[in-house]
Amino acid sequence: MLNKATMGASILATAMSVGAGVADTSDKRIALSNNYAGNSWRQAMLGSWDKVTSAAVADGVVAEAPAFTTAENQVTEQAAQIQNMILEGYDAIVINAASPDALNGAVKQACDAGIVVVSFDGIVTEPCAYRIAVDFKAMGRLEVDYLATRLNGGNLLEIRGLAGVFVDDEISAGIHEGVAAHSQFKIVGSVHGDWAQDVAQKAVAGILPSLPEVAGVVTQGGDGYGAAQAFAAAGRPTPLIVMGNRYDELQWWKEQKDANGYETISVSIAPGVSTLAFWVAQMVLDGKDVPQDLTVPFLQISQDTLEESLANTQPGGVANVEYSLEDAMAVVAGK
Amino acid sequence: MSVIRVLSGRAWVWSFLGMFLVWLVTAVYTGGKGSADVITAALSFATFTVIVGIGQMFVITTGPGNVDLSIPSTIALSGAVAMKLMGSSNDMLAIGLAASLGCGLAVGIFNYLLIRVLRIPPIIATLSSSFLILSTAIAYGRGLKIKPPPMLAEFTTAQVGGVPILAIVIILFAILMSVVLNRTVYGRSVLAIGQNMRAAWLAGINVERIRFMTYVLSALLAAICGFLLSGFSGGASLNMGQEYLLASIAVVVIGGTSVAGGKANVPGIWGAAMFMFLLVTMLNTLGASAGIRLIMTGLIIVAVITIAGGDEPQR
């Protein structure tokens, strides 16, 4: 439903089907407040935002939709940024937040000034804001459920994300729920890979010599390729590693698939979720009825869709989908 | 008594002692399983910390306030530029390395100009230049991950009898730098400046030239680290230098170099880099949670610095 070929068509269809909506928001200004840009996921997220919003501006759906990123990933800095946006009189602010609660004051000020606030990925808890969250726990459970269909049980190595971050706790909790449900699995080691390939490689290389045979590796995305390299460097058989949609992971998977029929799944959040947030903000400005809390589906790649996903992913990037207004309406309608 | 005095005179001994202890705890806990492989892994990863650690050591040794905070972003820029230029082709290896060194040279000169011409304190100067450098890397590479040329990947991951080739090269390099520090005019000048800049100047040392060379050296080593690290880990990424900010300073200090400057030690950097890796491995193996691990890492570093640093009374 989300591939690029239908993008243009759906925007066109959108322009015709909600003609009234175009008129209503054509003078509106939507700003993106982003806390961090230093990795490939965030780069893709900003790229998607730019692509979809510049088309929307060209089509007269909104007046402008600039993106702003703070330099230091600091809460205080982002709060000041949001306050500036309030003063500049934006109609809606889309936020990827540095903290779920520390920005609530600034978000409340924006709401009080009559500004629509939509948070996504890094969501804010302030009740007046809209939240586009991902069910990270379900993602963790899904990984173990998949392993259960492929293996008769065995030892698992868990690679976690950045310690202290909400997302890391959620995915890990989901994985542990999954392991509790499938008691044939046992987590024998857990390291923090910080969602980065090189950090994961280092951490796995360190713990691997002390581990018994590992049947599967559960990950959080960005760390699968590093784990594969660490296993290869240690001369250990390659276990079943769940991938996280990064180009290097998909490319490695493709190489293994061609060489020896290696089979796995890959699951993560599409960076294009920023464009879903954009459309949600536009719909709210348009007076549409949007629930305060929304859940986005994660992007899953299977053995059959690997080649297609790899071909559509930029080298060094993340498998991505961008949302059209129609897609956004489908998510809002809970479909 | 005399044994302790000899030991404390050689501050670097403590880092090797710490390294051996954490390795022993890990080995006992796992019943000796894979203990040799752990050393191999530690050697591979410590290599990169040692490269930037040596550069940082020279900078810190030039005296209080001197530190290079632009190392992580230089690693990212150098890796991104080299990988993009080489485009996974063996023929472009020399050009990639040259470009990488060019990045290092440019960063070093820029850092020094900020410090000297604009008279900005080194901490602020290198911190602000690191923003510029990382932004350049982001604008240039856009987070692209391009595979390294096969020859570079092979060289950085090759092993002989469980010892990584790269580690041997960097051990030889460390010995060379130890000679440079203790036996050359440049090295002695760095030590002299760190002990007393005015005295060094009165003794006829060209202080500014030495400081210039030191900041360039640190940036060059960071660039080399970025080049090798992208070969080792299958491509450059924007955040690959991040962990080397604190690590580069920590290995220098744990390795027995004085934070106040004027007293440096190269072998200790190797011991400290191995210690840092094995420490995380030990805590991972024991199944310590991330919170405990961070607290323990902090406490152990403080403990090591206290033991290793409390040797000589101030003159």
pLDDT one-digit tens code per residue, A190-210: 999 888 888 899 999 989 988
pLDDT at B114 over 70: yes
Contacts of A51 in chain B (CB under 8 A): none
CA angle B131, B253, B247 (to 5 degrees): 40
Across the strands, what pairs with B160?
B163
Mean per-residue pLDDT, B141-159:
83
pLDDT one-digit tens code per residue, A145-182: 999 999 999 999 999 988 877 788 999 999 999 999 99
Partner-chain contact B285 A225, CB within 8 Å = no
For chain A, residues classed under CATH 3.40.50.2300 are 4-121+269-306+317-332, 136-268
3-state secondary structure of A93: strand
Mean per-residue pLDDT, B74-92:
91
d(CA B182, CA B264): 9
The better pLDDT of the pair A41, A4 is held by A41
Q: Are B231 and B109 in contact (CB under 8 A)?
A: no
Residue owning tokens 């690997």: A306
* pLDDT > 90: percent of chain B: 54
pLDDT at A8: 47
Single-letter code of the amino acid located at A315: P
pLDDT at B2: 59
CATH superfamily of A136-268: Response regulator (3.40.50.2300)
pLDDT at B88: 82
The interface predicted TM-score (ipTM) is 0.76
CB pairs under 8 A between A and B: 112
B132 CB within 8 Å of a chain A CB = no
Contacts of B45 in chain A (CB under 8 A): 202, 205-206
pLDDT at A139 over 90: yes
The neighbour count for residue B176, using CB atoms within 10 Å, is: 12
pLDDT at B112 over 90: yes
pLDDT at B125: 94
Q: Which residues of A lie closer than 8 Å to B, measured between beta carbons? A: 37-40, 42-44, 71, 160, 163-164, 189-192, 196-199, 201-203, 205-211, 225-226, 229, 233-234, 246-248, 314-317
Contacts of B141 in chain A (CB under 8 A): 316
Highest mean pLDDT (candidates B9-23, B68-82, B153-167): B68-82
- Computed on alpha carbons and rounded to an integer, the radius of gyration of chain B in Å comes to 20
Torsion sign over Cα A188, A192, A197, A201: negative
pLDDT at A249: 92
DSSP sequence for B211-234: HHHHHHHHHHHHHHHHHHHHHHTT
Residues 255-294, chain B, touching A (beta carbon < 8 A): 277-278, 280-281, 284-285, 287, 290-291, 294
Quote the mean pLDDT of chain B: 88
pLDDT at B300: 73
Partner-chain contact B284 A203, CB within 8 Å = yes
pLDDT at B249 over 70: yes
Residue owning tokens 């710490």: B18
pLDDT at B142: 67
pLDDT at B203: 92
What is the CATH code for A4-121+269-306+317-332? 3.40.50.2300
